[in-house]
Amino acid sequence: MAGSGSGPLNEIGFGTWAWGNQLIWDYNPPEDDERLAATFNQALRSGLRLIDTADSYGTGRLNGRSELLLGEFIEAQPEHLRRGLMVATKLAPFPWRLGRRGLERAFHASRKRLKGHLNRVQLHWSTARYAPWQEVDLLDGLADLVEQGLVAELGVSNVGPQRLAWMQSRLAERNLSLRSVQVQCSLLAPDDLVLQELLQQCEALGIEVLAYSPLAFGVLSCPPGSESEPTTWLRRRLYRRLLPASLNLRRTMNAIAISRGVSMVQVALNWCRANGSTPIPGIRTPEQAQDVASALTWTLTPEEKRSLDLERKNCRERMPANPFQSR
């Protein structure tokens, strides 16, 4: 895939989807919370500043757990580490969240869980495919929150080029603009043409592209011959499909990693950066936080990127597309 690697490379943030998610990430509060606190501490001390969460992160009775933990972890930090953080949450456009004030209660609940540490609010997914009228009101309502000074920035997620152009135009009528758009972006992401169009569009508009699932649920971190099955059945199903199909791609990634003395994780993240996006990988251990931050210390050469692009193009299986992704 052609990229915008000739320009300045983007930074790296981290996501917190796994913090509270039992179904896919096997979250267990008694075992995980202390480790997640240490992970957060390491992330900040390693220089990671952009943090992504959502009001729907956390399964069942643990709904909102990610925001709750994040609020506690931030509050425990000294002031000098809190300064400069960019905390972004996403609000889900559930069917019952209707009208211009449909997300207002959810916003205040998120801000309370985050203990007031909230810089950017994002629409979690587009309803353009099934209820475009709902999205119009919700976007207007989020813009109201920015105008009222309740949050500094506005972003969206799972929005394609056509819908993004409409959103940006509507906000421009109020002298507002989107700060970021999240999209699935990785060496195994689906729909190359739409992704490339979105990257080019955002570069022209000055909108940051946040790359979620940059490691394809961990598949891209598995060296050939050292694969191990995940603990949850959903990820096991994905690995059984993607690991064989991505073997040559992962061999190329591993060769680059070995030659540089880095991890495959760093190779995957720097491919995203070379294409003009800011990857936001999920982290669950201090070691992962340190590894992710280390990707900021180097960049892919044009030759390395071309070799990855070639193997990516030849990969016959990809990650599933998000069903809420709009055009």
What is the set of active-site residues?
Answer: 57
Centre a 10 Å sphere on the Cβ of residue 303 and count the other Cβ atoms it contains.
9
Place of tokens 């056509």: 162
Distance CA 300, CA 51 (A): 24
Nearest to 295 by CA among 14, 40, 73: 14
**DSSP string spanning 123-184?**
E-S--TTT-HHHHHHHHHHHHHHHHTTS-SEEEEES--HHHHHHHHHHHHTTT----EEEEE
The rounded distance, in Å, linking the Cα atoms of 315 and 1 is 13
- In terms of Cβ atoms closer than 10 Å to its own Cβ (0-12, 13-18, 19+), residue 129 is middle
Give me the helices (H) in the chain, please: 22-25, 29-45, 65-75, 79-82, 104-113, 132-147, 161-172, 192-205, 233-245, 247-260, 264-274, 286-294, 302-314
For residue 317, give the 3-state DSSP assignment. coil
Q: How far apart are the C-alpha atoms of 280 and 273, rounded to whole Å?
A: 11
